[in-house]
Structure 1
């Protein structure tokens, strides 16, 4: 997902017996990503698009408690630096566990100002048809500080500081670093999930770009994706303030230079999911002078 992909932010889901506030699962929606080098205005352009990914259990990683998995992510990005960026993401996942099937549905809707000075978010996470967990609120920069006003799951006002990035801002930073051959990028990121309160410290590892079409699925070789440069990216998310030194989760993907993602891997520690790009549609793009 443009991250997440998709690389934009990826959604979360929780297994029965896990705390959604601690051991949560997250996948693109984020693909949303990043910090280091300053990116010149207009250096990176994200393409409005709709992408669909088929989810399966990653057989290359030993799984605990999970015997099989299938699902789908549908990710849609619209807008530009002038109008702002809106993202709609839905992840539906069915996990076959030792205790039975777990069905999860995560819906995310966000809008981010093109200058990353304002942000609106709404996230719902439903497990086995139960009452959904929800996060809802707005964020804005005041004198450089990111201030969040949340309405769900409870009313709160939070001041997150000046260095915290928003999801699309993070993606642009990752792409900017990739195009400047930067191998790593560290950044604190806020996207509102899962409870409107958490900040994640992220570490992105970025590989060398390639335009070689070998091994690409059909959806990644047609239209405006044909011949584009793409970069292998791995992002580790660490919940700020948590005692654990290991990532809360890790996402890996190929990131095209227009913000589209493919070859997803969502690693939740106990198991991992693979996301294969099955369809891609470029959406209308308005002219923007930024």
Structure 2
């Protein structure tokens, strides 16, 4: 049961890709008709078990996730993540899982590279590596996987890469939509998984509404002075007809792109992420062509 839990925790890395920096920053920039500048940052979250059903076989989760986002429309967007957790089962046995992920996405969404590795008790397990591309913005997606086994996938044109999805989500919010559905490819599940997603976008929470409830790291970086939005995204198996998602991630997204109040629900257990450290990173100036 613990190994099954580890595989599900790997999905957190997929979900977390959707926390791309600058999501709401783009919304505000578009509203002001100014060029978009995605915010580069490094955030650290303390990961703990929120709830677990007896069927999960899990009694405790304790660890840390480091999330680093950099890039621009000119250079593309890079996301590096590492999450180390200790999972305890009902018999008291503890296993340490070390998940590492790195992706790069071209600014126009035509190229995407991904690689990830999972260690269990310091022993290397699954390794995934590949790339995806489309010949034009409206073309279908061609995926070439090099690890764990060579393979190719042909995906329809409507499939979005992670940052593409983030930008489309903002456009939906600007249009006044509270519901946005899309298909996402991010290289998860050995590079062979495409998820149907449904995102719910809540109403804007005005600056200063709950500044007194922020963690020290959030207060120090002025998150309380920014507008924020509650977002909930469900991930479904394609054409599965399931009413319940494979997993769901809820988070609070701030106007500079930083997220807090993470909650990842896998059905039989859920994980909570608390922001403990936040650093803004320098990025090269970008002046994309109109």
TM-score normalised to the size of structure 2? 0.85
Partner residue, 1:7: none
Contact 1:209 1:230 in 2 (8 A): yes
* 2:154 counterpart (155, 159, 178): 159
Q: Residues 104-159 of structure 1: CA distance to partner in whole angstroms, max 9, x if unpaired?
A: 11100111101111011001122233332011011111241111111011111111
Deviates more, 1:112-121 or 1:207-216: 207-216
Matches within 5 A, 1:1-290: 15-16=2-3, 20=7, 25-33=10-18, 44-59=36-51, 62=53, 64-99=56-91, 100-143=93-136, 144-210=139-205, 211=207, 212=209, 213-223=211-221, 225-242=223-240, 244-290=242-288
SS in 1 for 2:189: coil
What displacement does 1:62 show?
4.6
Rounded Cα–Cα distance in structure 2 between residues aligned with 1:106 and 1:81:
27
Q: How many residues align?
A: 270
Contact 2:41 2:281 in 1 (8 A): yes
SS in 2 for 1:138: strand
Rounded Cα–Cα distance in structure 1 between residues aligned with 2:50 and 2:243:
24
What displacement does 1:43 show?
6.3
Note the residue ranges of structure 2 that are not aligned, 5 or more in a row: 20-26
Note the residue ranges of structure 1 that are not aligned, 5 or more in a row: 1-13
SS in 2 for 1:285: coil
Rounded Cα–Cα distance in structure 1 between residues aligned with 2:274 and 2:167:
23
Which structure carries more relative contact order (alpha carbon 8 Å, separation 6+)?
Answer: 1
Structure number, greater radius of gyration: 2
What displacement does 1:247 show?
0.9
Contact 2:17 2:79 in 1 (8 A): no
Contact 1:186 1:204 in 2 (8 A): yes
Indicate the RMSD between aligned Cα atoms, in angstroms.
Answer: 2.5
Rounded Cα–Cα distance in structure 2 between residues aligned with 1:264 and 1:28:
12
Whichever structure has more helix as a proportion of its residues is 2
